C-alpha cells in the first residue's frame, strides 16, 4: 500500500489560536428541519452547547489549548481515549511510528508523558489507527496496515494478516510490543475504527473488506502467546463502508440501543447498524487463526445523517456522550454534535487552527471537555467552554 496523503488537501494553516469567524455562505443547515434543504447557506442558529460555542460556531467563543505536540512523542496521531480506570490518563495512538503516547494528568500543569513501542511493535501495533478501552484492565487497538509485518511468507505474515490486538490497560504493564500483548486476531487489514461492546467483544471498521466486523476474543491467550483458535469473528455489512486511506472511520457501540454508529468519510455520512437482524451464513477466509469466522447477512447500514446536507464532508472522529454523537470532520476542520435521531445540534469551526486533513479521533472527559487529535500538525487539542 502506498502511503499517500489523505486527499489532495490544499488548505494552508493559519497561525496560532486565531479566531475562526463563521462564514454565512458555508454555514450548514439543521438536519431534520422540513423547511431546510441542502442549501448550506442557511444558518443553524443559536443552539447552545457551551463546548461548541453556544451556537456561534466561532472559535473565539470557546477555549482551545494545545496540550501535546511532537515534543511529547506524537507522530501522526489518529485516535485518543481516556483510561476509565485512571480518568486523567489520556492514551494517544500514533499511526506515524506505530506507538502509543500516554499523557498523565492530561491538560494539567503537572502533565507528563511516556511513549510505548516495545519489541515487535510494528507487528502487534503497526500503523495504529484507533484504540478502545474495554473490560476493566483491557485495551484493544486496530491498524491501518495491509503489508507483511513479520517478513514475507512462509515464515512471516502475509499482507492480509492484520486485525485487532488486545492489551493490558495498566500504565505499568502495557509496552505496545510482543511481551505485553494478550491476543491478536487476523481478518481486518486497513482497519480504521474500533469500539468496545462488552466482555472481550469489539467492533472494527474493516477497510480492506469495506465492512464492520465483530471480534469476540473470548478467552485471551497468555501474554506473548499464539493460540487464537477460540475467537469468534462475524463480518457485517460487507461492501457498504468506505475506505479512505489515512482517514480514520471511528465507530461507537450504543449498549442501550444495541446499535453501532459509524463515521463513514468516503460516503460523507454518519451510518448506523442494528446487528440484531443479522443471520450467520457462509464462512469467511482466509482463516489464519483456526477460529469461527462467519459472514452475517440481513443487517445493513442505514444513513443516520447525510453529511452533504449539512456541510459535513468527511466525518472521521466519533464519540458517544450524554446522548449525543460528537463528530470531527476531516475535510472542513469542524466538530459537530448531532442527536441520535440524526439532527445537528451545534457545530464549531476550527479551520483557522487545524488544517484540512488534521481532525480525526476525538473524545470527551468527565467534565464535558473535548479532546481531538490533529494528525497533520502532531497535536492534541483541548476544547472547553469559556
Which string of b and e fits 14-35 if b means at least 16 CB within 10 Å? eeeeeebebeeeebbbbbeeee
- Per-residue model confidence as pLDDT tens digits over 201-236: 999 999 999 999 999 999 876 665 566 677 999 999
Model confidence at 145: pLDDT above 50: yes
Model confidence at 88: pLDDT above 90: yes
- pLDDT at position 151 is 79
Confidence of residue 6 (pLDDT cuts 50, 70, 90): very low
pLDDT, average across residues 50-63: 97
Measured distance CA(265)–CA(275) in Å, rounded: 21
| Coil vs helix vs strand at 277 | helix
Model confidence at 170: pLDDT above 60: yes
Model confidence at 184: pLDDT above 50: yes
Lowest mean pLDDT among 8-22, 208-222, 264-278: 8-22
Distance of CA 368 to the CA centre of its chain: 18
- Candidates 1.10.3720.10, 3.30.160.270, 3.90.79.10, 2.120.10.30; CATH matching 69-336+356-366: 2.120.10.30
Q: Which regions of 267-330 does DSSP assign to beta strands (E)? A: 269-273, 279-283, 292-297, 301-306, 315-321, 324-329
Domain ranges of the chain: 69-336+356-366
Residues of the chain with pLDDT > 70, as a percent, come to 85
Instruction: Supply the DSSP string of 131-147, one letter for each residue.
Output: EEE-STTEEEEEE---S
In 3D, which of 106, 67, 44 has the Cα closest to residue 312?
A: 44
What the block records as the C-alpha cell of 353 is 487552527
More confident: 175 or 226 = 175
Q: Which residue has the cell 502475509?
A: 158
Burial class (CB in 10 A: 0-12, 13-18, 19+), 276: exposed
Distance of CA 124 to the CA centre of its chain: 18
- pLDDT at position 2 is 36
Number of residues written out for the chain: 386
What the block records as the C-alpha cell of 42 is 442557511
88-94: long-range contacts (C-beta < 8 A, 24 or more apart)? 89/171, 90/363, 90/371, 90/380, 91/131, 91/139, 92/68, 92/373, 92/380, 93/128, 93/129, 93/130, 93/131, 93/141, 93/361, 94/128
- Laid out side by side, the sheet with 334-339 consists of 315-321, 324-329, 334-339, 344-349
The radius of gyration of the chain's CA atoms, rounded to the nearest angstrom, is 20
Model confidence at 330: pLDDT above 80: yes
- pLDDT at position 152 is 74
- pLDDT at position 5 is 37
In 3D, which of 104, 63, 100 has the Cα closest to residue 85?
A: 104
- Per-residue model confidence as pLDDT tens digits over 283-296: 999 999 899 999 99
Amino acid at each position: 500500500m502506498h502511503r499517500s496523503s489523505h486527499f489532495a488537501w490544499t488548505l494552508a494553516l493559519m497561525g496560532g489560536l486565531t479566531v475562526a469567524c463563521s462564514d454565512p455562505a458555508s454555514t450548514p443547515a439543521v438536519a431534520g428541519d422540513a423547511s431546510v434543504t441542502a442549501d448550506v447557506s442557511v444558518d443553524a442558529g443559536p443552539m447552545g452547547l457551551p463546548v461548541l460555542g453556544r451556537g456561534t460556531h466561532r472559535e473565539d467563543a470557546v477555549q482551545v489549548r494545545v496540550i501535546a505536540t511532537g515534543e511529547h512523542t506524537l507522530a501522526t496521531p489518529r485516535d485518543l481515549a481516556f483510561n476509565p480506570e485512571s480518568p486523567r490518563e489520556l492514551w494517544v495512538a500514533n499511526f506515524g511510528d506505530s506507538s502509543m503516547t500516554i499523557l498523565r494528568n492530561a491538560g494539567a500543569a503537572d502533565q507528563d508523558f511516556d511513549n510505548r513501542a516495545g519489541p515487535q511493535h510494528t507487528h502487534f501495533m503497526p500503523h495504529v489507527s484507533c484504540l478502545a478501552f474495554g473490560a476493566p484492565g483491557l485495551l484493544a487497538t486496530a491498524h491501518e496496515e495491509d503489508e507483511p509485518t513479520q517478513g514475507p511468507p512462509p515464515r512471516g505474515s502475509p499482507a492480509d494478516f492484520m486485525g485487532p490486538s488486545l492489551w493490558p490497560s495498566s500504565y505499568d504493564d502495557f509496552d505496545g510490543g510482543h511481551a505485553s500483548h494478550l491476543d491478536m486476531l487476523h481478518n481486518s487489514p486497513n482497519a480504521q475504527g474500533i469500539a468496545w461492546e462488552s466482555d472481550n467483544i469489539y467492533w472494527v471498521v474493516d477497510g480492506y473488506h469495506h465492512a464492520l466486523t465483530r471480534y469476540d476474543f473470548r478467552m485471551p491467550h497468555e501474554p506473548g502467546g499464539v493460540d487464537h483458535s477460540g475467537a469468534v469473528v462475524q463480518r457485517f455489512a460487507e461492501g457498504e463502508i468506505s475506505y479512505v486511506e489515512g482517514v480514520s472511520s471511528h465507530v461507537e457501540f450504543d449498549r442501550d440501543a444495541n446499535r453501532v454508529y459509524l463515521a463513514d468519510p468516503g460516503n460523507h455520512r454518519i451510518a448506523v447498524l442494528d446487528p440484531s437482524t443479522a443471520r450467520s451464513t457462509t464462512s469467511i477466509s482466509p482463516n489464519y487463526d483456526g477460529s469461527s469466522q462467519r459472514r452475517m447477512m440481513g443487517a445493513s447500514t442505514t444513513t443516520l445523517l447525510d453529511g452533504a446536507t449539512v456541510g459535513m464532508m468527511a466525518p472521521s472522529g466519533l464519540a458517544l456522550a450524554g446522548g449525543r454523537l460528537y463528530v470531527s470532520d476531516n475535510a472542513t476542520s469542524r466538530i459537530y454534535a448531532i442527536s441520535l435521531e440524526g439532527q445537528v445540534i451545534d457545530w464549531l469551526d476550527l479551520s483557522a487552527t487545524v488544517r484540512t486533513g488534521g481532525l480525526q479521533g476525538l473524545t470527551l472527559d468527565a467534565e464535558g471537555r473535548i479532546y481531538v487529535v490533529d494528525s497533520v500538525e502532531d497535536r492534541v487539542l483541548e476544547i472547553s467552554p469559556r
